[in-house]
Structure 1
Amino acid sequence: MIKTRWSRQSIYFKLTIFVILIIIFQALLLTGAMLIGGVLSRARENAYQSFSEKVSNRQETIEREMKNRWTNVDPYLIQIAGVLSDYPEQKEFFDAVAKDLIAMLRTTQTTGAFIILDEPNAAEVGNPVLYIRDYDPMLNDVGNKDLYMVHGPSELAKSLKIPLDQTWGYYLKLTDDNRAFFDQPYRNASLTFNAGLLGYWSLPFQLSPNDLPIVTYTMPLFNADYELRGIIGVEVSLNYLNQYLSGTDLQRRDSMGYLIAYSKSEESHLKPVITSGALQKRMIRETEPLLLTRVHSELNMFTIENHDSAEPIYACLERIGLYHLNTPFEGEEWYLVGMMTEGSLLSFVQRIQRILSASLVISILIGIAGGIFISYGVSRPIVKLAKQVRESSGEKNLQLNATGLLEVDELAMAMEAANNSLLDTALRMSRIIDLVEVPIGAFEIRENSDGVFVTDQLWHLLDVDIEERNLLIKDKAAFRKKLDQIFRCPEEGEPNVYVLSKEELCWLKIKITQWEKDVLGIVMDVTAEMLEKKQIKADRDRDPLTGILNRKAFQEELKHQMSEKQAGTAALLMFDLDNLKKVNDAHGHQFGDQYILHAVEMLKTIAKQHQMVLGRRSGDEFVLLLHHFSNRQAIRECVNSFFNRLQNVAIGLPDGSHKPVTLSGGLMWLEGPDQDYEEALKLADEALYQAKRSGKESWCEKG
């Protein structure tokens, strides 16, 4: 019922699909109008624009701090250069400029300020240095209690009442890991005496393994006579710099925040150099360059491909302008990179998409519900009518109830008339067949009908009871299954004849023809004909006295057995009854026949029935085929066992005495189906007469 209702050809299915398609079309029309109107693209563009503006504002803040505040060294550079000329000795020089260096530290609001001098023996003992650090630039103590001396004379720290840092050293030992901030401005000092044009921002590094990571801004230090003496600069610790990389403006919670990336002009990739936040450090691979795919060229919007986040990460890049054109370090570019996950950046876009998707799903559900409701009301009377037709008996006139739908009721009346006319025709045909008194039945399986049209005689021929009849006549699949069961038992050598197991065996002849997509069949009872054929065959192939195969039938069976692919080891044996003539002369041919029958019964015990074929060649000669043995020795043992048993077998004579049943035998080995039967029989006969000459009651083999 359900399968039929949801068939693509049913009214129920078509009405439901029609209503669903209308509602889906309306939903798609509304969704398409919103998409064409640019709702999603506009929302995505707004998200990109907002993201870009926040990154741009943060870039301006950081650039302003780095270019205007943290590098505001020039006012002190001139003064310190003059003091350097007045105090060429490093100790007096550091004593004289210490307060100026502290003032520079306070003014720039950095975490450290330093002067590093270059001396001839610096490579051995280290460079003379005055390095003062403020771990919290926003908190200024009048007595300088918040300052620490990282490098420099301890006597000077004591006079200034500044404690020594835990990583303090008198000199600064420059190594390959920490000397870039010194070498870069120092090596380029020959280009100009304007130290401001040679300012250099270093990448993050550590002064010593136990020191905190920092970035520095350094310039060459000239004395008043423009002699290069060292460098001067400030440091910004990464802890302090990270305060400017907080991503709360991008996302209040779980923000990816900002990072600073670096590249050289000859390099095409950006490498993260300053990262912030545990979430960012977990998601961004700091040891790898950023693999970027551009998504918006005007707003410098990209997606980061190499990350460890479960969802896409978007990045907005803004260049931090640190260097002037035509300066030594203009090729080194710093970028502020703002980052947001897709779920955070496009949350509003995704919300709109979810609303549109939910609307579409709800529309489909409403369409399904509405389609089912409408189509159910229309198709229910038709379904009831179809149920009546299916449940009606094929043997009675069809009577259908009114549905209340005019067109359907007219169709029902036409169906009643057609069915009743067909039933009358079938009944007349069945009566005509009954009058002929021929055991024949007929059936028809129609493509467009679930049931089967049959004549009354068919059920008797198929041996079907009333309960099974009612099932088969309504279900053509069950009827076909019934036919398949019959087709599994064909009669060998008789086309279209099958054995049907009843209380007594019977044979049916079934002829089937295909007419377009319908199947027509005739079933006839041919039991009498088959019994007659089998009796004729038995009379033709069997010896009248013993019932075993005669000479010709044995020869045919031998060819059949030896033609099998796996006939095994086989042998042909000739047997001759000893002293049959004496028995006939002494007691008559009737008792001689009993003697023969007794010998045949013994011969039947030589091997198992499926391993032997026994036939009568003439009056007292018998021929035996042994086949499907594993080897020759097995056949020899079988024959020896038979002759041993014969010694204990005797037949009672009419005079009350007993006479042993004795035979002589000759064996010839068979090699295959191509072996000549007459030749093999001749050799077996020779072996038989050899056994007789040796004293009878024995056997010999040949070949």
Structure 2
Amino acid sequence: MKQNKKTHSMMRKMMIPMLFVLLLQALLFVGTIIFGGTVDQLNRNAFDILNERVINRKNYIENEMHRWTSISGTVQKINSQAEELVARSGITVAELSANSPVTAELLDLVSQDLIDLLEKQSITGSFVVLNGQDDPKQTFDVVKAGVYLRDMNPISNPEDNSDLLIERASSVITKKLGIPMDTGWSPQFHFTEDFPAESYDYYYKPFRAAFEYPEISYSDLCYWSRPFQLSTDDISIITYSVPLISNGVPYGVFGIELSVDYLKSMLPYDEIASDKAGSYLLTVTDADAMEFENLLSSGPVFRQLYGDEGNLRIQKRNIYGDSFLLQPSARASGDLYGCVQYFKLYNSNTPFEDDRWGIIGMVKGDKLLGFSAKVEMIVVVSLAVSLVAGLLIVLVISRIVTKPITQLARKVKNSNPNLPVKLDKTRIAEIDQLAKAVESLSDSVAESASKLSKIIEMTSTAIGAFELNKKEGNTFYTEHLFEIFGLQDDYSTHGMMDNEAFLKKLEQTRRFLDEANERDRVWLYQVSRQQGSPSWARLRVVVESDRIIGVAEDVTQQIIEKKKIEYERDYDLLTNLLNRRAFYTLLVELFSQPEQLKIGAMMMFDLDNLKHINDTYGHDYGDQYIRCAAAILRKNTPANAVVSRMSGDEFYIFLYGCEEKEQILDTVEQIKQGLAETIFPLPGDATFRVRASAGIAWYPDDADSYEQLIRYADFAMYTVKHTVKGQVMQFSIEEYQRDSYLLHNKEELNKLIDERLIEYHFQPIVDASTGEVFAYEALMRSKVDAFKSPLEILTLARSQSKLYEIERLTWFCSMEAFVAQKQILPDVRIFINSIANQNLSRQDFAEFEQLYRPHLNRIVVELTEEEKPNSAFSSQKQECIRLWQASLALDDFGTGYNGEAMLLCLTPQFVKIDMSIVRNVDTDRNRQKILQNLLSYTKERRIKVIAEGVENRGEMETLIHTGVDYLQGYYVGMPQKTASLVNPEVVAQIQAINRKKKSPTAHRSYPKS
């Protein structure tokens, strides 16, 4: 019985190798494109561009918001005007009713401040609303006085205020200002139920927060409102408002307005995506950040998809970076992507910190990822077309073959599937015809495979690939592979070469190596081509056991875009100098190699008169002034200088690599000469000299780190700015050690005042005749480590105009600590150090009286000699002393401002002899003579004398014999947190000295000087 052997048709035998070749080449191209990361990279690039554009727009809007809300000066001015008016009229700020003449006068003063703010801040409106005597908890049916001005064209500021409108103001103010009234004008603010309560949040939220959080500064009670309308036909607006607070009492709200249309003009949606297929949204969300409340939007896409329904929800977080997938809309037919960036509007631990304002850039998925989808579609279609075409060709040619030819089949089987098949002539017509058909088939398959390269070329993406076969020892490469690397175009078509020749050819690209990622097997090459313009190519390699696959692509456009973004990231757009980030990055790099620095200098320049130019001629001329100064610095600095614009009017220059300081000083002189010779033109043929103040810190003499050099240069600049403006000063370590706290401890002083970080120690004042405690002096001690003495606190407070806050702390905190001392006898007095030229407000005095009424007659107000007395302040203190039956003491008598003239002016009950006279009085005749003269002067006027600074028994004995009334010093008693009695041994010494003094045989002799 014959065994049936399995046989195959000739068609099948010919189709298998041909289809294998076709599939191999097709999968090579498709795999390298789709699975090689090309599509993913295109998608990531799309998201990167979206994120970058939204970040840039967020930074711009956030900077504008901080500029719009720089209103602290106006707030302080309004508070000062209000306090002055109510003090003059004898009422409180809470009594500023809607129809009060004092209210009308205040609003008249405030209206000009609002006009100035409109011109300065480039906003569409500003307003002041006064609460009067209304209940803060009542929302509706109230009428409040105020002023509301609007500028519909904030970019233009004509001198006649012709672009302004009055929304709310009395008719008197309207006539006086000469500004037209808007169609919705009203003389007062009417809060009625015709509008929802949210329409009045701009007033009630910051105002009520001021009552709920009295310990928080007004600047942390600020509130950004949602869009609303003042009246039915009014435009939509967003406001920023803060409470007006006088001496702890809220009495109104001050704020600015930004129209929704004005904000929309700052959200150019056409930059998000091509064909205007994107939208910008200004939103508010909570900490969960899954749903966003839409405040306003620009661009038609959002309105088309969501209409007026408003809010957005996130479907999936973190698609890539800060981008996410939006909850689909009923009107949307595809995916919607958004990128959110948040503004920093509120500080932590403030009433409205849960409102997270942000900006969302929204794009349709088909627009954002359209290019990568197009590439995928082309690749898939190309694969299908190639497979179908190849299959048809194989079928047609295979049907021609009628006879099995073993020899021909063996040769075809043993041929290289990656190369066209070539068969020898047999001179047999049928076989030669078959061989010719096989060769034609092979060529057709190769041609079909090459179509993928042509289709990819049609996508405008230059891509080349290769497969290196380790077993067979040859490499297949596609068209344009070597062209992408800038090599000669001898290999412009796809083909095959042995591995050694291919690697040798590819090795020529090594000289163009720009950067590499060896771990991920990705290399970036800077290619030199005949056109001369730089180009870049990226090569990705996948290594397997028996082969190596590589894909190369032309990434020139991506690199150009990246370098453009890096330039905009690192350079200041106004001056083309390095910005803060790039400056610090370069310094880190330089200081990592200190051997190249040699002698260097950090210079900080601060432009003078920029505020004057901005206020007088506008910010456009201010920007030109900054550019002019930047050009001078750039022109007059050598190549080994790092020049940067750090902020509005501050420039840093770091010079390095010099052999001696004279080289740097020559550069400084050249810069000064350049500034002095430059004339800045202004409107009306006016001219202006460019001026700047500068500080210099030397490397390595002053410091060997750039952080310390910047700190020292900043201090030197601060010193010259507040002394000889317009000069250049070198850093002095002695001055820094003495005065640096003035520059660096501003926030520490605010913290000390706001959190009352002081305590008081009590030093006894002893009766010189009995040794008993007559009084205690309350001595301030700081809980902030930055301040070593009360003198530093007073010096810094004086430089920051905050002596009043220190004066108030002194009165209330010292008296609070004194009353808490339970062991003090009821008749013992308390000496409170008061700043001579500062005084509490009437409200402060009233509060102080209410708290400490039983102890008022025990107070001795001690005027220090640190400040020259103010007669108006002193008279108010004297009036309170008279009403309280308290006393007045003059500190440091005989020195500074405190002398005989002050005795005549103030007529105190006590004077303190300065310790400079008390020191060594027992051995110095001159001091004894001065003391006797002072005592003679005070005894005639029945003024009690206190000697302070007593440090030994000899001084104490001399003072008692001379006739002082009271003693104070370390020898008598140390300052302590808990008031203590005098050491019994010292009491016994005082009593013994007095007994000896009264003895008729007692004789006191003083040593000769």
Q: TM-score, normalised by structure 2?
A: 0.36
* Alignment correspondent of 1:69: 67
Amino acid at match of 2:326: I
> Residue 293 of structure 2: which of 271, 287, 290 is its match?
271
Amino acid at match of 1:84: A
TM-superposed deviation, 1:290? 1.9
Amino acid at match of 1:187: R
Moved over 6 A (4+): none
* Alignment correspondent of 2:169: 152
Change (3 A) 1:379 1:96: farther
* Alignment correspondent of 1:179: 200
Q: TM-score, normalised by structure 1?
A: 0.50
Q: Please give the per-residue CA displacement for 1:275-327, whole angstroms capped at 9, x wherever unaligned.
A: 22333211135525423133636612111123222221110111111111111
Q: Is the 8 A contact 1:219 1:233 kept in 2?
A: yes
Q: Is the 8 A contact 2:146 2:168 kept in 1?
A: yes
Q: Please give the per-residue CA displacement for 1:531-570, whole angstroms capped at 9, x wherever unaligned.
A: xxxxxxxxxxxxxxxxxxxxxxxxxxxxxxxxxxxxxxxx
- Taking the aligned partners of 1:328 and 1:193, their CA distance within structure 2 comes to 10
TM-superposed deviation, 1:24? 3.1
Change (3 A) 1:246 1:329: same
Q: Is structure 2 residue 243 aligned with structure 1 residue 220?
A: yes
> Residue 341 of structure 2: which of 318, 327, 335 is its match?
318
> Residue 99 of structure 1: which of 104, 112, 123 is its match?
112
Change (3 A) 1:366 1:124: closer
Instruction: Report which of the two structures shows the higher radius of gyration computed on alpha carbons.
Output: 1
* Alignment correspondent of 1:56: 55
**Counterparts in 2 of 1:121-520, with a 5 A limit?**
124-175=141-192, 176-190=197-211, 191=213, 192=215, 194-223=217-246, 225-265=247-287, 268-287=290-309, 289-294=311-316, 296=318, 299-307=321-329, 308-379=331-402, 404=430
> Residue 122 of structure 2: which of 98, 109, 119 is its match?
109
Q: Please give the per-residue CA displacement for 1:496-554, whole angstroms capped at 9, x wherever unaligned.
A: xxxxxxxxxxxxxxxxxxxxxxxxxxxxxxxxxxxxxxxxxxxxxxxxxxxxxxxxxxx
TM-superposed deviation, 1:200? 0.6
**Counterparts in 2 of 1:571-650, with a 5 A limit?**
none
Q: Is the 8 A contact 1:114 1:234 kept in 2?
A: yes
Q: Is the 8 A contact 2:145 2:188 kept in 1?
A: yes
Q: Secondary structure at the match of 1:291?
A: strand
Q: Secondary structure at the match of 1:296?
A: strand
Q: Percent identity?
A: 28
Q: Please give the per-residue CA displacement for 1:356-412, whole angstroms capped at 9, x wherever unaligned.
A: 123213312431342133223325999xxxxxxxxxxxxxxxxxxx99479x9xxxx
- Taking the aligned partners of 2:242 and 2:429, their CA distance within structure 1 comes to 102
Listed as ranges, the gaps of 5+ residues in structure 2 are 1-6, 87-101, 406-427, 435-1009
Q: Is structure 2 residue 41 aligned with structure 1 residue 28?
A: no
* Alignment correspondent of 2:777: none
Q: Is structure 2 residue 108 aligned with structure 1 residue 87?
A: no
Change (3 A) 1:102 1:348: same
Q: Is the 8 A contact 1:150 1:165 kept in 2?
A: yes
Q: Is the 8 A contact 2:47 2:320 kept in 1?
A: no
Q: Is the 8 A contact 2:290 2:314 kept in 1?
A: no
- Taking the aligned partners of 2:41 and 2:230, their CA distance within structure 1 comes to 50
- Taking the aligned partners of 2:234 and 2:36, their CA distance within structure 1 comes to 58
Amino acid at match of 1:146: D
Amino acid at match of 2:144: N
The RMSD of aligned alpha carbons is 2.8
Q: Secondary structure at the match of 1:257?
A: strand
Amino acid at match of 1:243: S
Q: Is the 8 A contact 1:111 1:134 kept in 2?
A: yes
My pick for the range that moved more, 229-238 or 32-41, is 32-41
Q: Is the 8 A contact 1:125 1:171 kept in 2?
A: no
Equivalent pairs counted in the alignment come to 379
TM-superposed deviation, 1:236? 0.7
Change (3 A) 1:35 1:277: closer
- Taking the aligned partners of 2:321 and 2:294, their CA distance within structure 1 comes to 20
Q: Is the 8 A contact 2:328 2:336 kept in 1?
A: no
Q: Secondary structure at the match of 2:191?
A: coil
* Alignment correspondent of 1:439: none
Change (3 A) 1:105 1:156: same
- Taking the aligned partners of 1:9 and 1:63, their CA distance within structure 2 comes to 76
- Taking the aligned partners of 2:18 and 2:273, their CA distance within structure 1 comes to 45
Q: Is the 8 A contact 1:63 1:320 kept in 2?
A: yes
Change (3 A) 1:142 1:14: farther
Q: Is the 8 A contact 1:193 1:226 kept in 2?
A: no
- Taking the aligned partners of 1:201 and 1:377, their CA distance within structure 2 comes to 83
TM-superposed deviation, 1:127? 1.3
TM-superposed deviation, 1:95? 0.9
Q: Is the 8 A contact 1:81 1:222 kept in 2?
A: yes
Q: Is the 8 A contact 1:202 1:215 kept in 2?
A: yes
Amino acid at match of 1:221: L
TM-superposed deviation, 1:121? 5.4
TM-superposed deviation, 1:141? 1.3
Q: Secondary structure at the match of 1:204?
A: coil
* Alignment correspondent of 1:44: 43
Q: Is the 8 A contact 2:143 2:191 kept in 1?
A: yes
Q: Please give the per-residue CA displacement for 1:70-106, whole angstroms capped at 9, x wherever unaligned.
A: 1111111101111112334221111111111111122
Listed as ranges, the gaps of 5+ residues in structure 1 are 1-7, 383-401, 409-703
- Taking the aligned partners of 2:295 and 2:33, their CA distance within structure 1 comes to 43
- Taking the aligned partners of 2:371 and 2:319, their CA distance within structure 1 comes to 22
- Taking the aligned partners of 1:150 and 1:71, their CA distance within structure 2 comes to 21
**Counterparts in 2 of 1:535-574, with a 5 A limit?**
none
Q: Please give the per-residue CA displacement for 1:94-145, whole angstroms capped at 9, x wherever unaligned.
A: 1111111111122221111000111235954521120000111111111100
- Taking the aligned partners of 1:251 and 1:36, their CA distance within structure 2 comes to 27
Q: Is the 8 A contact 2:269 2:299 kept in 1?
A: no
Q: Is the 8 A contact 1:290 1:306 kept in 2?
A: no
Amino acid at match of 2:305: M
Q: Is the 8 A contact 1:301 1:314 kept in 2?
A: yes
TM-superposed deviation, 1:28? 1.6
Q: Is the 8 A contact 2:285 2:355 kept in 1?
A: yes
- Taking the aligned partners of 1:320 and 1:48, their CA distance within structure 2 comes to 20
Q: Is the 8 A contact 1:70 1:109 kept in 2?
A: yes
Q: Please give the per-residue CA displacement for 1:547-598, whole angstroms capped at 9, x wherever unaligned.
A: xxxxxxxxxxxxxxxxxxxxxxxxxxxxxxxxxxxxxxxxxxxxxxxxxxxx
- Taking the aligned partners of 1:380 and 1:275, their CA distance within structure 2 comes to 75
Q: Secondary structure at the match of 1:148?
A: strand
Amino acid at match of 1:335: G
Amino acid at match of 2:200: R
- Taking the aligned partners of 2:16 and 2:153, their CA distance within structure 1 comes to 72
Amino acid at match of 1:258: Y
Change (3 A) 1:326 1:54: same
Q: Relative contact order (alpha carbons < 8 A, sep ≥ 6): 1 or 2 greater?
A: 1
Amino acid at match of 1:83: Q
- Taking the aligned partners of 1:155 and 1:164, their CA distance within structure 2 comes to 12
Amino acid at match of 1:73: I
Q: Is the 8 A contact 1:24 1:363 kept in 2?
A: no
